[in-house]
Amino acid sequence: MTGGSFGRVGSSGGSGSTSGPESVPAPTSESSERDETDDMLEAVSASIGDVVVTIEVVDPRYSDLDAAAPALRLADQGLNGALVVGSGVPWRGSLDWSAQVAILRQNGNVVRQTRGGHPLGDLLFLVEWLAGHAQQRGPSLPAGTVITAGTWIGVFEAAAGDTIDVEFPGVGRASARFD
């Protein structure tokens, strides 16, 4: 990645999804009925086009992030410097996320590997929540929207000259070089 002025660069490997040819449907009510929830999750699942591998380039805005209060650090980590969208596969309606492996390589060497690494497991319910949240504020999630699911392998610091590769075997990979 060139052209940016990243202060303290970290990378966070994760997964994302792109919506297919239709907008992501939002929940129609706050009902807690299981049938309606299952129907909504099926509709959300049907709206997903692909599952892709992503790298979030973490770019803290503080000159001394370690000295910042915990709440400020949390808020700042939510601001990314860039999102690298890698390859993926068409969504097939389900994936065994608990068995999914995620591999982080720095300059070709495996430095971190997880299995079932996302703490929330199956993230389909979050896509449903996001669609409802967006609809309440006006726009829906239009076709082609990239939705990131957060980190599966944690934040990893990268230095100038490093190449970071994230692979989800069977899904895809993403790569970023920090110049």
Mean per-residue pLDDT over the chain, rounded: 76
Q: Which residue has the tokens 């940016």?
A: 4
Domains of the chain: 23-177 (3.90.850.10)
Q: Which residue has the tokens 């097939």?
A: 92
Predicted confidence (pLDDT) per residue in 20-45, tens digit: 555 556 555 554 555 666 777 787 77
H/E/C letters for each residue in 99-111?
Answer: HCEEEEEECCEEE
Closest CA to 88 of 165, 177, 16: 16
The alpha carbon torsion through 6, 12, 14, 18 (nearest 10 deg) reads: -10
Model confidence at 170: pLDDT above 90 = yes
Count of other CB atoms within 10 angstroms of residue 115: 10
Rounded to the nearest 5°, which phi and psi values hold at 152? -105, -20
Predicted confidence (pLDDT) per residue in 44-99, tens digit: 778 888 889 988 887 777 777 778 787 776 665 556 778 899 999 998 888 888 88
